[in-house]
Structure 1
Amino acid sequence: MSAAFLTSPSRRLTVMGVGLTAITGGAMAIHVPGADTVGSVARANLFVAVLAAGLALYFLAVRLVLREQLPRRAAWTVLGLAVAMRALLFPADPFLSSDIYRYVWDGRVQAAGINPYRFIPADPALADLRDADVYPLINRKDYARTIYPPAAQLAFAAVGRVAPGVWGMKLAMLAFEMGGIGAMLLVLRIAGLPPERILIYAWNPLAVWSFACDGHVDAMGIGLLGLALLARARRRDGIAGALLGAAALVKVLPVAVAPAFVRGARLWCPMLAGAGIILAFYLPYLSAGRNLFGFVSGYGAEEGYATGEGYWLLAGLGHLGWAPARLLIPYLVCAGLGLAALALRIAFGRARKAEPDAVALCRDTAILAAIATCAASPHYAWYYPWLSLPAVVAPLTAVVWLGAAPLFFLIDPFNDRFLWPSIVFVPALVLAGRSLLHRKSASLLTQGAV
């Protein structure tokens, strides 16, 4: 390939996209068919190494779309290759996670007219629903009720009636993801930004693998968040609040971005709409009584949140001789107060002059989402791709990194909640600090000029 050919930014973009697609196919070839993980520790390490090469190519592509002027057809190149990457992975059996089998099970239980929060899968009351394809692959089936909130359960129920099975569930999750991508294309138009910036989410390798391969329900939350951002950008405050409330009933973390939807809006409208949706979605499941919140407390205990060891920062202090359990309450109080202070500043602060409302909305959403996710510091990779969605419009460097770099969490060579995760969190802190210093310097220069 000649150097002259690569002088065109659109051609370089195409080469990067084709390369990323090839890396996706190559990584899939490492997997041993039928294995519930990649196949062995050595294969898993090789798998992540190959994905890391794709991650580097992705960051180069992000840099290109942010710095170069591209023709309008570049957006079609971005979308076409995004579809190609997902098409490569969709036919494969999920192998990086077994969560989707619980989704299918919950849908099957509801199709039988049973509240999914009432019984664990192994309960004799559900014996007639067991099969050889789904039931044996459900994680925690012997002791855990479902953990998924009502909005997710309603989606599982719908898929369970229309297209029961793993492929139907994966297709539904990809449909939600495509809805989020479509919504963000419209937000980009409202903000007056180039449509090819959708690459920041659409080519994110972590999103591709999390949803096209494993069909995680987080794709539903991403779709609803994208629609909520679109509604808010169009000043449909009530609809935006309702959609954000629904997103929070897929995964709880989106509730942290609510203050971004309040700034410059009627405070009561999105709040009442969101609260109304949350109440309405819980009503069909109230018969579960005290089991309505499923395995939430048990999950917290399993993940180390009850002892503090599940939080990255506290796990790190544990290496220095501090007891994470003793620091848990102070950590939660400080994190809560910090988020509350930031939330108040965003909700009631003034927007920057000459900044489009859609950009301010997505920037505030990205900041709140990133800080809340880092404070919780989940060690499952698929908890992070949602950060890339608002970054399409407001590409904060640290947020773009956090939305994709947790690909490294697919392995943990040290079996430690601090050492290996530091490969993601330490660079994020450095990038965030550099951005803050740059912003402060720019502000001082502006004041000096005045």
Structure 2
Amino acid sequence: MIADGLGALQVRQDGVAAGLFYNPDENPAHAGLEIKEGASYFPLEAGFDQTPGRTRVSGPVLADQGATKSLTSVYTVGPNLRVTELITYTNGVPQVNVRYGIENVSLTPTSLRAGALADLYVGSNDSGNGAIAGVSPRFVGGREERTGFVYGLQEVTPWRAFQEGDYEAVFGNFAANGLDNTIDSAAPDNGVGVEFALDALQPGERRDVDVRWLLAAPAPPGTVSPTAPGGNGNPGAAAPLIEQLPPPVKGKTVNVSVRKGRIFIKIPPSKKFVELKGAMQIPLGATIDATKGRVNLVSTTAKPGETQLAWFYDGIFKIGQTSGAQPITDLTLAETLAKCPKAKAKGKKATAAAKKKKSRKLWGEGKGAFRTTGKYSSATVRGTKWLVTDRCDGTLTQVKQGSVLVRDFKRKRNVLVKAGKKYLARR
């Protein structure tokens, strides 16, 4: 059990290198307490001792009572709040209990939302089916298909709202208007959160919020993975993002569906884009316009009968797939660009040239054998979030999470780009 003394947590099991929250090989402890107080948002950061708006007061202090241990930390969150965090766990018991004592140390009343959130690492993997138990005590989180074990939150202090799905959506919703009471059983990168409302917290008043994490634990009674809107009788259960279609065919087809916004597709020999409605199986060679939305893409892998899911946005791309025993699904940037200038133009010509689009890009999120190809390089996925941009000076690859392998076409070399880094393959 690891606590940074500022609200971030990480848990490891004996004999297992990976943590149960975001993979510790990347070093963050991306689970714990977030607070939204009015317009002020106090997030967790992906790393120890990197949490803006928080100041350590004391701890973490370990108390060892044989098999049962506890960690106590005190820290401030913004100018108005002090948190006393008590973590309790017992060796051999797959759960961690946390009590957050939230005290108003200002001179005026304040109201806030407190959230317990995490980027889950279910069964040493980012993937896992979203699951919920609607009977008391409720549970929300991810379930590992191989073992059936669950990872997530069991209700102690009553929740105001919950959410399971793509971790960015969970954290983003909490930071905005709050969690939305949905389960996304198709999300390839599990996140989970619950939130609590602390209204009219008076000066000097402290209220306690109790949280229980179930980690590699047997599923509580009534746990299900929703397959249709409300179809399991669970309030707020959302439909999976990928509708039922015939499985994609290696070297021939992929399955796509709208994740968010509006998506347009062009299928040869047609030269016209039409809006994608719902889910559809399309042939390789089709072009997708995801400049106004996000598109889910399911394709085959090297293993017979196995599929992989990622989603793409903010670009136009053509779908392909390599042949051979290890197929890679390739997304080639396809947006039409103006020619890059050879020399500086003057006057009206310079103004007109500046208005023409000279770059194109594509964001991708997910894991699997996916590759984004630009004009001067390609980026093969090893991680969860990446951006490829074609520019006049070359093809830029930026990695937000995980890592990608960039192939520089001109220099004929491979470059591994890790999270927070970028690589420009020059023209």
Q: TM-score range by the shorter chain?
A: under 0.3
Query: Which protein has the bigger strand share?
Result: 2
Q: Which has the larger radius of gyration?
A: 2
User: Structure 2 length as normaliser, TM-score?
Assistant: 0.26
As a proportion of its length, which structure holds more helix? Answer: 1
- Relative contact order higher in (CA < 8 Å, ≥ 6 apart): 1
